[in-house]
Amino acid sequence: MSGEPMRPTFHFTPARNWMNDPNGLVWYDGEYHLFFQYNPLGSAWGNMSWGHAVSRDLTTWEELPVALEHTPTEAVFSGSVVVDRANTSGLGSDGTPAMVAVYTSHDLITGHQGQSVAWSTDKGRTWTRHPKNPVLEIGSTDFRDPKVSWYAEGGYWVMAVALSTERVVRLYRSDDLVAWTHLSDFGPAGSVEGIWECPDLFPLAVDGDPTHTRWMLVVSVQVGGPAGGSGTQYFVGDFDGTTFTADPVPGADPGGASWVDFGADYYAAVSFNDEPHGRRLVLAWMSNWDYGREVPTRPYRGAMSAARSYELRTRRDQLVLAQAPVVEGLAAQAQRNTSTEVVDGVHALPDSWRGSSAVLTVELDPGTASRCGLHVRVGDGERTVVGYDTAERTLYVDRTLSGDTGFHPDFRAVHSAPLDLDEGDRLALEIHIDTTSVEVYADGGRVVITDLVFPSPTSDRIAVFAEGGAAHLHSLTRTPVTRG
Ligand code: FRU
């Protein structure tokens, strides 16, 4: 894809046309599968179908033909894929388990949304729709995004699916992926301003101890997110095979939400089934329903976030989500390091630090500065600021001068997240810069900001800055990422 300087280097984009949510994330036989909401016919939302891509390392993706095509009466909305190893569905054959997709059929005549099944016995390359579709239909027009996974303790399949306008996640169980029984409902809870979409329910080890797990329910909300517009919230709690019960969040307002990401561009986050290393890996659509239809990229519209490993960490007696981006597939080349005093002002790094795709790691002591941090994607009149505000105790990304911001009035904004560092702690950041995005992981991924930016391809410099005093940059490392 040379000749496309805006094309992300290490984030998935389809070769052309519209993409939104990741769907059907699953590992099978050496391949990570990414299906996605896709319009095969254009760069606006519509004709919803499942696009398909595979990867071995989660950073280099090969796009394959459309897996599930829309029909004149059916739009294929979001859903999930399981590998039916025990052939509970009877859809596999001897020695070849079926990959079974459970997705929302949006009936274009009635407007009803029901859950449907399709299966593949050739590693997801071709799919057959089940004759009983939709296999789960309750007469609703807002009943979507089934996430199915194997509940090992009970020996059955569990589906989490949104009753979107009710702000409810409904849980079902099945023995064969076709007949589903209602278990319980969760919600409304947390952030309820926007409708609920794309739920995901999974166990997570606490502090890396596999004998101590809690359950996590992730729910996307179309509006009311922390940076405006759509966002992704989570609940930590317990699942007993029937009911999910959320732990109280100390200090939260009634209705206070816990956010996965404080940027504007992290939506519809769902996790992989059957990850072979036991990690809980998650992808999200790196966009926002406020302006996703307007983002200025051609000939495609829509990108995925980096794959991230979700972990639960104990901090001050509370469980917090931490996210680590998967970097294995990124070619680690010569790194550059520096350590320096940052006096009041903006200090550009030399030419050898230029590049529009890179991973930066930063350790910064705010010292006497009221604000400090980095400018990235710096060029003629353009910069994206990644900073820490010591008085507010916030991490922020300022994209007001990041490049093309004029395609939607809500795009030009500063997004911030509470980041209470312990006394004497340095600010530790990992910043993933790509041609059209900045992902900032602070303090080991406990606070994350993901933002799209559309700078000129030549805005590829880095600067460090301090305001109102001097900061100390203990280390700054840059690993360039090049197109594979
Ligand atoms: C979330 C969503 C889902 C739906 C899909 C349609 O972004 O609205 O609820 O299944 O997109 O493309």
Instruction: Give the tokens for residue 88.
Output: 């509970």
Which residues, at least 6 apart from 71, have a Cβ–Cβ distance to it below 8 Å? none
pLDDT of amino acid 482: 81
Instruction: Read off the pLDDT band of 330 (50, 70, 90).
Output: confident
* Confidence (pLDDT) at 253: 60
Span from the CA of 216 to the centroid of ligand 1 (angstroms):
21
Task: Name the residue with the closest Cα to ligand 1, atom 8.
Answer: 197
Residue 356 corresponds to which amino acid?
Answer: S
Section 80-108 average pLDDT: 96
What's the rounded mean pLDDT across residues 168-189? 98
CA distance linking residue 395 with residue 398, whole number of Å: 10
Token digits for 297?
A: 């990229």
Average pLDDT on 313-328 reads 92
Q: State which of 45, 104, 198, 219 you would mutate to test the pocket of ligand 1, scoring each by most atoms of that ligand within 8 A of its C-beta.
A: 198
Is there an atom of ligand 1 within 6 Å of 198 CB? yes
Distance CA 346, CA 462 (A): 10
481 Ramachandran zone, left/alpha/beta (phi>0; psi -120 to 50): beta
216 vs 213: CA distance, rounded Å: 10
Mutate to test the pocket of ligand 1, among 50, 140, 145 (most ligand atoms within 8 A of CB): 145
pLDDT for residue 471: 95
Task: Please tell me the least confidently modeled range out of 152-166, 296-310, 326-340.
Answer: 326-340
Only one residue has tokens 């059209």, namely: 436
Is the four-CA dihedral 57, 145, 232, 247 of positive or negative sign? Answer: negative
Rounded distance between C-alpha atoms, residue 100 and residue 68, angstroms: 12
What is the reported pLDDT for 334? 65
Beta partners for residue 113, in sequence order: 106
77 C-alpha to ligand 1 centroid (Å): 6
Q: What pLDDT is recorded for position 35?
A: 99
Enter the tokens of residue 157. 């399949």
Matching residue, tokens 């996430």: 147
Q: What is the mean pLDDT of residues 362-381?
A: 96
Cα of 78 from ligand 1 centre, angstroms: 6
Q: How far is the CA of 51 from the centre of ligand 1 (A)?
A: 14
Question: What tens digit of pLDDT does each residue of 452-469 get?
Answer: 999 999 999 999 999 999
The band of 286, judged by pLDDT with boundaries at 50, 70 and 90, is very high
The finding on whether 197 has its CB within 6 A of some atom of ligand 1 is yes
Name the residue of 78, 164, 222, 265 to mutate for ligand 1: max ligand atoms within 8 A of Cβ: 78
Query: Residues 421, 423, 426, CA angle at the centre, nearest 5°?
Result: 60
Atom of ligand 1 nearest to the CA of 77: 10
Which pLDDT score is estimated for 248? 86
Calpha distance 152→156 (Å, rounded): 7
CA distance 235 to 218: 6
What amino acid positions are annotated as catalytic residues? 21
Residue 32 Cα to ligand 1 midpoint, Å, equals: 22
Ligand 1 pocket residue status of 330, Cβ below 6 Å: no
Average pLDDT over residues 70-89: 98
Any ligand 1 atom below 6 A from CB of 77: yes
Q: How far apart are CA 157 and CA 136, in angstroms?
A: 14
Bridge partner residues of 75 (DSSP):
106
* Residue 104 in contact with ligand 1 by CB distance below 6 A: yes
Q: Which domains does the chain have, with CATH numbers?
A: 17-325 (2.115.10.20), 336-480 (2.60.120.560)
What pLDDT was estimated at residue 335? 73
Please give the Cα distance from 462 to 275 (Å, whole number). 36
- Asked if this assembly's ipTM is beyond 0.95, the reply is yes
